[in-house]
Chains A and B, each alone.
Chain A
């Protein structure tokens, strides 16, 4: 026998269930008067620096049906590529940008929408710049542990071509599942949980 390393085990995940809105977006679920606003509903204000963009899309199950009970959270850098986090040691992020947003999918259409800004580039571990990207975390009824993926911008072709994470995707025909396409002033990003068009999900 040797000494124990003494590490604890992480608390296991469970599904967020169909009523995740009660806890995470109570105003959306019809519970008014407990919180002023739903957390994560607004990422920007009038003073936020950077190009305003809208991110929108739907999440599809393995039958092609959109999820109308999912919750999406995003996390991204500000326009200068800095994160609004205590662990950000490279500088101070834009105080008028939270970097984090939360949106339930619409109960009828299944659409999620974020009003945000185009993120700046952030360095990979070895100092190379990653392409602009947004990290997504998806929970819902039927999802036992939150799914993590990234949204990249299809019109950032040069940056995407040199992105160290996109380069790691062995099956190159799956790279487009992470590319949001421009539609007017918005970017459209659908997520497919399962099947032919399955989105690349990460173990981070």
Chain B
């Protein structure tokens, strides 16, 4: 965690034209799972400004290494070895220190390790598919994994998800809570996916595409992809009518 004084301001209003709307019928499950009534706007109270923060003590030694954290001793997951790294910042460009990131993904063949999953592609006995890490003082994070495969899903009769890694992100306030998906540069499936296209703005979609990062590739070991994450920014004061503590 940072030595900086904690911030206590409300968060910037979320731009819900930038995020996907609730109702996106080409993504079929959204049809009956989307509220029909307008959201009630709530200027942040303490209940939204505060949020849980997790210490580095939470982490196990291999939590950020999906190639090994489920593998038998001496073995490793099959697939293209990659490093995913980047920075968590807020909308002001300020690094978010101590942010907990959790990620999950399919294996190299597009198969998830989950009770409910029945895709015929094989499980990898050395790959679990979950990992987590916490950003450093400047907001940086990194983890090691294999590149996930594309994956068919029962939406259209021939719909396939692009290769993707799911991210769950905690900032410092519960109003910053975010789940998203990272895609890979150059994947032609991105532009055909109804879940991707739930986002109306092309520039917003591009914010989810990690760039191949040759400068951070480890020669003869793993390629790198860079994926920066932006959380909501914060106003500077807590209570307009309470001067102390600001």
Our verdict on whether A and B bind, yes or no, reads yes
Answer yes or no: B113 CB below 8 A from chain A CBs.
Answer: yes
Dominant SS among interface residues on chain B: loop
Contact status B115-A30, CB under 8 Å:
yes
Answer yes or no: A116 CB below 8 A from chain B CBs.
Answer: no
Interface residues of B in 56-108 (CB under 8 A from A): 58, 60, 62-63, 69-70, 89-93, 102-104
Dominant SS among interface residues on chain A: loop
Contact status A99-B52, CB under 8 Å:
yes
Given contacts A13-B19, A22-B104, A26-B130, contact A204 B48 (CB under 8 A): yes
- A contact residues, range: 35 or more
Instruction: Chain A residues near B208: list those with CB within 8 A.
Output: 11-12, 14
Contact status A144-B46, CB under 8 Å:
no
Instruction: Chain B residues near A124: list those with CB within 8 A.
Output: 45
Return the CB mask of B115-130 against A: 1 if under 8 Å, else 0: 1110000000000111
Interface residues of B in 4-55 (CB under 8 A from A): 6-8, 11-12, 14-16, 18-22, 24, 27-37, 39-54
Contact status A203-B14, CB under 8 Å:
yes
Contact status A107-B115, CB under 8 Å:
yes
Instruction: Chain B residues near A26: list those with CB within 8 A.
Output: 104, 128, 130
Answer yes or no: B146 CB below 8 A from chain A CBs.
Answer: no
Answer yes or no: A186 CB below 8 A from chain B CBs.
Answer: no
The 10 A-B pairs with the shortest beta carbon distances in the complex, nearest first, are A23-B104, A142-B29, A85-B50, A142-B33, A100-B52, A144-B20, A62-B32, A86-B6, A83-B50, A203-B39
Residue numbers of A with Cβ under 8 A of B are 6-24, 26, 29-31, 33-36, 39, 61-63, 65, 67, 69, 73, 75-77, 83-89, 98-100, 107, 122-127, 130, 133, 135, 137, 139-148, 150, 165, 168-169, 174, 193-195, 198-204
